[in-house]
Amino acid sequence: MKLQTVKGTKDILPSEIQKWHYIERTVRRVFERFGYEEIRTPVFEETSLFLRGIGETTDIVGKEMYTFQPDAASSESLTLRPEMTASVMRAYLQHGLRASAPITKVYYISELFRKERPQAGRQRQFWQFGCECIGSAAPEADAEVIALMSMIYRTLGVQNTVLRLNSLGNLETRKRYRDALREYLRPNYEKLDAISKERFEKNPLRILDSKNPDLADVIAAAPRIIDYLDTESKAHFETVQTYLKQFGIDYVIDFKLVRGLDYYSQTAFELQSADLGAQDALGGGGRYDGLAATLGEDKETPAVGFASGIERLIIVMEKLRLFDMLEKKVPMVMFISQSDAAREWTMTAAMQCRQAGIDADVDLLRRSFKAQMKESNRVGAHYAVIAGENELQSGKFQLKNLATSVQEELTFNEILEKLKIEK
């Protein structure tokens, strides 16, 4: 049997890599414009980090983690990271980053792993870019993070998106709301599907997330968390919205937006695209002031961040033809040899070009002159330098402009000078 990629994973081939580079370049530029620095953390962590950080009743922890025991004789349990926020907070606490600056702003471009049923826009290994702003409890931080996410999509040209916003209040709010929601749902319990019944006790807020059309009416009439917010949370949420309005960022309030991770408090948001199918969330995030405490930290560590799926972004950008302007990288010059001795010369000459910063290519297949010329056209090289016995004797080579077919006879140094100017 032929070996293939595992279901839910994908190769990113050279023919697609330009798209990835373009997105990564743009994303880095915008993050850095807001004062963020990159962080990279290990692909696997101790399982307990995610159990405690993300929450045991979430889908991610309950059924989507790739957990393994590296050594059967030991109880050590490791997990491939399903998201970055818990890892970033672990790194922040472990390295005492709080001591070096009052606020830590980090971004990442990382691969993640979730054992999900693969479908368009949902993979088992996928990529996210995202950021975490740790150290501020102020609504300015929430507003800036949302504005940053929005600027990335605007810079990439992605339109037709909807930003959904909600507030989950503080711990006390959620406790009161959870009780109220259970009371409301109790008479409707028999109408709930199996998964919602399961969530009823453990995490009733997630029932609001259900896409089951049979539950739409029950969910639409459910009490709204906004009515349970304490004064401080309400003021926080209103300030975030005032900033968004000032920044010209459109949003809709969605009282059903609870997000699938337990660490959120106060602001929660998600960006949806009409150009995606069932998996319509391009990215999401929110405030998570309680995460550090669940990891054992006793100092207040307020934080807010977001993450965006790169595969989903690519689906949307392809649909909107936002990659059409990307040009394939082509070599400036292709060295063509007409004899064995010339081949040796072309190998050295190509190397000297590269040392001078010029993109150069040379035949590695010992092909005929005709085949080498054909290859120069196929790859779209700007120039070909043709070397045969006569050229080696005279020290003068043909430099052919492949677009105009104009040829010049030049020494190698003259060729180098000319190409250096063109590059």
Site residues (vs ligand HAM, CB under 6 A)? 83-85, 114, 116, 121-123, 126, 128, 130, 132, 260-261, 281-286, 288, 305-309, 311-312
Single-letter code of the amino acid located at 392: L
Here the tokens at position 232 are 């401080």
Single-letter code of the amino acid located at 330: V
189 close to 200: Cβ distance less than 8 angstroms? yes
Residue whose C-beta lies closest to ligand HAM: 309
Residue 20 CB, nearest distance to ligand HAM (Å)? 14
The CA distance from 321 to 154, in Å, is 15
Q: Is 123 or 376 the residue whose CB approaches ligand HAM more closely? A: 123
**Phi, psi of 312, rounded to the nearest 5 degrees:** -65, -40
Here the tokens at position 24 are 């990564």
Residue 269 CB, nearest distance to ligand HAM (Å)? 9
Tokens 């691969």 identify what position? 111
Residue 171 CB, nearest distance to ligand HAM (Å)? 17
**Alpha-carbon distances of 51 from 84, 128, 333, rounded to whole Å:** 14, 21, 55
Q: Is 130 or 139 the residue whose CB approaches ligand HAM more closely? A: 130
Residue 41 CB, nearest distance to ligand HAM (Å)? 12
**Alpha-carbon distances of 30 from 11, 40, 86, 147, 227, rounded to whole Å:** 27, 18, 23, 11, 36
323 close to 317: Cβ distance less than 8 angstroms? yes
Q: Is 163 or 415 the residue whose CB approaches ligand HAM more closely? A: 163
Residue 38 CB, nearest distance to ligand HAM (Å)? 15
Residue 292 CB, nearest distance to ligand HAM (Å)? 13
361 forms beta bridges with 334
Q: Is 84 or 229 the residue whose CB approaches ligand HAM more closely? A: 84
Residue 311 CB, nearest distance to ligand HAM (Å)? 5
Q: Is 284 or 331 the residue whose CB approaches ligand HAM more closely? A: 284
Residue 70 CB, nearest distance to ligand HAM (Å)? 24
Here the tokens at position 25 are 């370049």
Q: Is 9 or 352 the residue whose CB approaches ligand HAM more closely? A: 9
175 close to 261: Cβ distance less than 8 angstroms? no
> 162-183 as b/e, with b when 16 or more CB fall inside 10 Å?
ebbbbbbbbeebbeebeebbee
Here the tokens at position 175 are 């406790």
- The end-to-end CA distance of the chain, in Å, is 47
Q: Is 188 or 279 the residue whose CB approaches ligand HAM more closely? A: 279
Residue 286 CB, nearest distance to ligand HAM (Å)? 6
Residue 365 CB, nearest distance to ligand HAM (Å)? 39
* Residues 118, 121, 125, 130, Cα dihedral to 10°: -150
Q: Is 117 or 186 the residue whose CB approaches ligand HAM more closely? A: 117
Here the tokens at position 334 are 């292709």
DSSP labels, 43-65 = SEEEHHHHHHHH-TTSHIIIII-
CA atoms within 13 A on the CB side of 217: 3
113 close to 42: Cβ distance less than 8 angstroms? no
Q: Is 204 or 285 the residue whose CB approaches ligand HAM more closely? A: 285
Q: Is 311 or 391 the residue whose CB approaches ligand HAM more closely? A: 311
131 forms beta bridges with 107, 306
